[in-house]
Amino acid sequence: MYILLIGAPGAGKGTQAKKLSQLLALRHIASGDLFHTAFEEQTELGLKAQRYVDLGELVPDEITIPMVMRHIEEPENIQGVILDGFPRTFEQSQALDAELSRIKRQVDLAIHLKVSREELLARLAGRIFCQANQHVYHIKFRPPKVADRCDLDGSKLYQRPDDAGEAMRRRLVIYFNQTVQLLDYYRQQHKLREVDGNSSIDQVQAILLSVINDSTGRVAKV
């Protein structure tokens, strides 16, 4: 089963995808995490990708698509994956379909996590990540137990440069412009489901699970 989670930066895709991947026993592939991991490993693709991320620009497809497909094609992911943050554009959705059909697979469901612009700005301004594993916290909505330290691994917390100021606003504008055509593409194939992402993490999680169960007949492993 191949599920896409589509949503703006700050919509909660990462948090939701992580939980869904545990409940559905599917690997969670986040393009943002792939970039950060590749950057930390100082791979050539990773260093190139980071330059775009720091500027609040989209990472070009010739970097993103090979990175994502490398993970999709890993043998342990043959049952499917939850893709979070990819595809972002119509062109990427075409490339993904072509690559999946090559391995006799297809996108089953595209879920749009809808969050208002005001809510996104409030969430993004306070996001902090741990240096060791990119665990996400929020200064106001989800603070760590000890200031500036990850609850899970004790590493230092930092704000991503692209979450602050002008770079973040540019990211949102790019996101809204790119996403219209992407949503239309999946809507026409009757694969699109829209979920209100403005409420609490648990409420959104419950809605997502019921949407996935209704659409695929798959029952979550709880």
37 near Zn ion (CB under 5 A): no
Interface pick for Zn ion out of 78, 152, 180, 219 (rule CB under 5 A): 152
CB 30 within 8 A of CB 17: yes
CA 80 to chain centre: 16
Would you tell me the crossing angle of helices 117-125 and 165-188 to the nearest 10 degrees? 130
CB of 134 to Zn ion, least distance (A): 7
Q: Is 71 in the site for Zn ion (CB under 5 A)?
A: no
Q: Of 71, 80, 73, 77, which Cα lies nearest the Cα of 109?
A: 80
Catalytic residue numbers, as ranges: 13, 88, 127, 160, 171
Rule CB under 5 A: is residue 77 a binding residue for Zn ion?
no
The SS3 call for residue 128 is strand
Q: Name the minimum Å distance from CB 148 to Zn ion.
A: 12
* Binding test (CB under 5 A) with Zn ion, winner from 133, 159, 199, 205: 133
**Cβ at position 40, least distance to Zn ion in Å:** 14
- Smallest distance, Zn ion to C-beta of residue 90, A: 35
Give the tokens for residue 134. Answer: 């990119």
Q: Identify the bridge partners of residue 196 per DSSP, sorted by sequence position.
A: 114
Binding status of residue 153 toward Zn ion by CB under 5 A:
yes
Per CB under 5 A, the list member of 130, 168, 207, 212 interacting with Zn ion is 130
The Cα 138–Cα 171 span in angstroms is 19
Q: Are 5 and 207 in contact (CB under 8 A)?
A: no
**Residue closer to Zn ion, measured from CB, 18 or 135:** 135
The contact set with Zn ion (CB under 5 A) reads: 130, 133, 135, 150, 152-153
